[in-house]
């Protein structure tokens, strides 16, 4: 009888400890699962907001780059027009005659080199 009583007592103590630790472990597992889920949701939300901010920032950069391109294209057109004006033969001839006091050469002054 003494042995049987000891087996029952071990069984009861072992079962009692398991029933006490079981609900706490389940609560901790659920709490850990909930915390992981919340962390995932918060992280996903932060990533989504960050990506939207990046899209908006890049949109502003593209817009400013397009404005700069338009400005530079207009400046390029103005400079090309100025170059064409400065290279015109009529302007050069006028400058040579008026400013430098040059005259057109007479036919006998022209030497042709072959």
Residue 45 lies in a domain: yes
**Boundaries of domain holding 69:** 2-109
Which pLDDT tens digit goes with each residue over 9-43?
555 555 545 555 567 788 888 999 999 999 999 99
Flag whether 114 is in a domain.
Answer: no
Q: Is residue 46 one of the residues assigned to a domain? A: yes
Residue 40 lies in a domain: yes
Task: For residue range 39-63, list pLDDT tens digits in order.
Answer: 999 999 999 999 999 999 999 999 9
Enter the pTM of the model: 0.54
Q: Tokens for 111, please give them.
A: 């030497």
Task: Give the number of domains in the chain.
Answer: 1
Q: What Å distances lie between residue 19 and 6, 8, 11, 22, CA to CA?
A: 20, 16, 12, 5
Instruction: Tell me how crowded residue 96 is: count the other CB atoms within 10 A of its CB.
Output: 13
């Amino acid at each position: 009888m003494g042995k049987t009583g000891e087996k029952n007592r071990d069984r009861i103590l072992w079962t009692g400890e398991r029933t006490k630790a079981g609900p706490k472990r389940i609560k901790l597992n659920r709490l850990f699962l909930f915390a992981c889920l919340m962390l995932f949701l918060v992280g996903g939300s932060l990533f989504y907001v960050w990506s939207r901010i990046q899209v908006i920032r890049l949109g502003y950069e593209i817009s400013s780059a397009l404005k700069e391109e338009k400005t530079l294209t207009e400046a390029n057109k103005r400079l090309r027009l100025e170059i064409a004006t400065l290279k015109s033969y009529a302007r050069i001839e006028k400058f040579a005659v008026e400013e430098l006091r040059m005259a057109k050469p007479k036919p006998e002054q022209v030497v042709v080199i072959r």
